């Protein structure tokens, strides 16, 4: 009996902890490069405004019990702001808009991370919300300030007994999907594309 209790305790502790969950820009379909696109945008600043980022800038979410207690945290290997910066850079590059260096850029893009969170209780869910500010590189007032949010919930129901032991990869994937969708919504808006053409 005692052996069984020790084994269950070890299994429970192994399920707790943190999982690495690096994020990349991965849209379901690659964005089309516009023939008139020019590499005129440089990312000048990414600021993580999430409340949780003040204590742990790598935290992006958690697997929780039905009572809300965190049993497994998801963290990026570098601060989330760096991953978001790279994701925006890859999205701009895919559209032919990323300037090779700051000197060649006409506009500076500032990104505020307002939300980037993965949650798993009975289902997997993720939310990403960004605000962008586009400014002329030579200074002056912003020419565009915009904000978008993307949220996804998985259709599969996770039983309470397997939630703690479930793989973190599906949760990372749904978070990456939300991040990529929010970026696409911002960069594909006519108000943004008209300015950078």
105-122 per-position pLDDT tens digit: 999 999 999 999 999 887
Average pLDDT for the chain: 85
Contact predicate 197/34, CB 8 Å:
yes
Q: What is the pLDDT of residues 18-57, one digit of tens each?
A: 677 789 999 988 887 777 889 999 999 999 999 988 899 9
Per the structure, the count of domains in the chain is 1
- Residue 86 pLDDT: 98
pLDDT tens digits for range 130-159: 999 999 999 889 999 999 999 999 877 665
Domain range for 94: 2-196
Which residues contact residue 59 at a Cβ distance below 8 angstroms, ignoring those fewer than 6 apart? Answer: 52, 53, 73, 74, 75, 80
Whole-model pTM: value is 0.85
């Amino acid at each position: 009996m005692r052996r069984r209790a020790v084994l269950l305790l070890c299994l429970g502790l192994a399920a707790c902890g943190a999982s690495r969950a690096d994020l990349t820009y991965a849209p379901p379909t690659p964005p089309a490069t516009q023939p008139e696109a020019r590499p005129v945008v440089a990312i000048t600043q990414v600021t993580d405004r999430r409340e949780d980022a003040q204590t742990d800038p790598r935290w992006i979410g958690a697997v929780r019990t039905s009572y809300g207690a965190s049993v497994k945290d998801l963290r990026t290997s570098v601060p989330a702001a760096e991953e978001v910066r790279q994701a925006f850079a890859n999205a701009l590059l895919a559209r032919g808009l990323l300037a090779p260096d700051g000197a060649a850029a006409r506009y500076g893009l500032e990104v505020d991370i307002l939300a980037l969170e993965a949650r798993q209780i009975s289902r997997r869910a993720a939310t990403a919300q960004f605000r962008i500010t586009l400014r002329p590189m030579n200074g002056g007032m912003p020419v565009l300030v915009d904000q978008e949010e993307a949220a996804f919930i998985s259709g599969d129901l996770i039983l309470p007994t397997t939630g703690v032991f479930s793989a973190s990869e599906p949760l990372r994937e749904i978070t990456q999907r939300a991040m990529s969708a929010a970026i696409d919504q911002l960069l594909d808006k006519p108000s943004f594309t008209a300015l950078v053409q």
